[in-house]
Structures are given as C-alpha cells and as structure tokens.
C-alpha cells in the first residue's frame, strides 16, 4: 500500500468493506468506510477487533444522515421527560409500487453484495438507537414480492433472496416496544414515508422526514394537537471534517465509531436470523 497515504476512504458495496478495512488498518492507515459497516455482525466484529488492536488509527463508518438535523432536539426532548415513559415506537420507511419481475437488480437486492442488510433497516435503526438505545430482542417477518430481477452484469434473470417488504417487532432495552416497517412495494401514498413516532405515557414525538417536520403532541396542550419542536442546535453533515479532525487529534469520532456501528450490525443480523428461523432472537448475539 502506498506509504505516502495516511488515510483510506472506502466507498464500495458492503461485501468489500471487511477485506478493505482490514487491509487498510493492517497497513497502518486511518479508515473512513461507507455504510452499512459490513455484510453481517460477524464481519463487523472482525473489523472492530482489528481497530481495537490499533488505537492510534482513526476508524469511522459513514453515519446515517437522515436525522442529523433533528437528533439533538429529539435527544433533548426525551431527556426533558416531557414524553414520560416511552411505551411504543413506530418506524416507517415505505416507498413505491412493486416493480415488474425482470427489473434491474441493484446491490440492495443482491444478498452477495449486501448480506444481512435489508431496505432502509440499518439506516433507520441507527438513527433510532441514537435517541433511545438498542433493542434487546427482535422477531421479523418479510416477503419478496419481486421475485426475479435482471443481473446488469450478465443480463440473466436471478432469483431475489432479499425481502422487499419487512416487518420487525423489537423489545427495546429502554422498555418500549417498537415496530419497524420497511417496504419498497407498498404503493398508494401521496409521498414516500420516512417517519418515526415515539409514544410516551405523557406525550408523543413525531419526525416526518418527507415533510421535514418534528412535532410534539401532549394531551394537556392544545387538545393534543401537534406542536412544532424548535431546533435549537440543528446538526449537519460533517463526516469528512470529523474524520480529519480525529486524525489531527482535535476531536473524537462520534458519527459513527466502530463499536456503535457493530451494534447496529448486531441488530441487522438478529433480524436476519429471525427471518430465517421464524423465532424471536435475543441480544447480545452469540
């Protein structure tokens, strides 16, 4: 590897993340890797272990960017106690009518390239975990509606193993129950749905990413009508800035360090195991 390089940026599909990250770390380089972290939790652990053997080297995964603007406001609202005890969480990532069988296969529909990663599952769960922590168990059900797609490399039809519709029920460590609905085949809405509902015993917080709105509903305020939540400290994209700052010793990696990314990969693999087995899967995994 070129000795004049200090840092490596990896922007491939997930199937190449582990070998490239390991090679870069073993060559003494700092590493910024595209999300999702790896094909599965096992690969993520190998990457995490290698990074821990080389603490002077910066190791960062590109974070889920969807909620950066709202993260601080959501965290502050939860911390304030205005929601009461969190009881139920809904996460929805829904877009589009089913494509015709034979439509082009992308890396997201190719299990060899994406592994356990399904639809928007990882990118939505990563954001949720920033606010409320991680899940302790999951049970999942999915289906593949578009069963055959055309491989762009060979023009041959291939069967699709990755679900294009997924429901996940999760027990969160904070005590809440969560329902994550991800679908690329549930058409009919006037716009794509990318949203989070955090229901508590005293209030409900709603983030509608498609509308760009964060609102709070409380039974004792305006009859429960949603009220806008001010964004006192809106976040922004600064991934490359943070990476360089960490290399220079000016800051630490927050979004996203390897331990955090390995946790969302654990969730992703737990969902995949539940899909295969039809049973609930607890965490930590073994």
Q: What is the pLDDT of residue 3?
A: 85
**Short-list 213, 209, 254, CA closest to 231:** 213
Average pLDDT over residues 38-59: 98
Q: How far is CA 286 from CA 45, 168, 257, 273, 282, in A?
A: 12, 20, 22, 12, 9
Q: What is the pLDDT of residue 187?
A: 84
Residue 240 has pLDDT above 90, yes or no: yes
What percentage of the chain carries pLDDT values higher than 90?
A: 94
Average pLDDT over residues 71-90: 98
Residue 231 has pLDDT above 80, yes or no: yes
Give the global pTM: 0.95
Mean pLDDT across the chain, nearest whole number? 96
Pairing verdict, β 148-150 and 213-217: unpaired
**Short-list 7, 53, 55, 54, CA closest to 33:** 7
Q: What is the pLDDT of residue 96?
A: 85
**The two structure tokens encoding residue 237:** 């994209």
DSSP 212: T
Q: What angle do CA 108, 114, 118 make, to 5 degrees?
A: 60
Query: What domains sit in the chain, N to C, each tagged with a CATH number?
Result: 7-64+237-282 (3.40.50.720), 71-228 (3.30.360.10)
Range of weakest confidence among 5-14, 21-30, 185-194, 219-228: 185-194
**The two structure tokens encoding residue 159:** 């069967």
Task: Please enumerate, as own/partner, the contacts of 206-210 that have beta carbons within 8 Å and a separation of 24 or more.
Answer: 207/67, 207/70, 207/74, 209/66, 209/67
Average pLDDT over residues 163-187: 97
The predicted-structure confidence for 200-212, as pLDDT tens digits, reads as follows: 999 999 999 999 9
Q: What is the pLDDT of residue 190?
A: 62
Residue 31 has pLDDT above 80, yes or no: yes
C-alpha span between 114 and 285 (Å, rounded): 20
Residue 253 has pLDDT above 90, yes or no: yes
């Amino acid at each position: 590897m070129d000795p004049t390089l200090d840092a490596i940026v990896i922007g491939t599909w997930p199937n190449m993340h582990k070998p490239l990250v390991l090679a870069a770390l073993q060559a003494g380089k700092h590493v910024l890797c595209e999300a999702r972290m790896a094909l599965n939790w096992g690969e993520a652990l190998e990457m995490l272990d290698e990074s821990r053997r080389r603490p002077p080297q910066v190791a960062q995964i590109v974070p889920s960017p969807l909620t950066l603007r709202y993260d601080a406001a959501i965290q502050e609202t939860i911390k304030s106690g205005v929601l009461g005890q969190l009881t139920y969480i809904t996460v929805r990532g829904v877009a589009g009518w089913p494509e015709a069988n034979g439509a082009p296969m992308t890396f997201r529909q190719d299990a060899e390239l994406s592994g356990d990663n399904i639809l928007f599952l990882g990118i939505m769960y990563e954001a949720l975990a920033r606010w409320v922590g991680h899940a302790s168990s999951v049970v999942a059900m999915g289906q593949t509606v578009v069963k055959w797609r055309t491989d762009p490399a060979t023009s041959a039809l291939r069967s699709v193993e990755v679900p294009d519709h997924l429901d996940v029920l999760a027990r969160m460590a904070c005590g809440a129950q969560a329902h994550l609905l991800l679908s690329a085949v549930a058409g009919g809405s006037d716009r794509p749905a990318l949203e989070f509902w955090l229901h508590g015993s005293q209030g409900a917080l709603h983030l509608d990413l498609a509308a760009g709105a964060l609102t709070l509903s409380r039974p004792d305020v305006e009859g429960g009508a949603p009220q806008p939540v001010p964004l006192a400290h809106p976040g922004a994209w600064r991934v490359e800035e943070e990476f360089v700052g960490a290399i220079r010793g000016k800051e630490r990696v927050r979004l996203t360090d390897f331990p955090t990314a390995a946790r969302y990969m654990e969730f992703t693999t737990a969902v995949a195991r539940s899909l295969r087995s039809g049973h609930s899967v607890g965490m930590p995994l073994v």
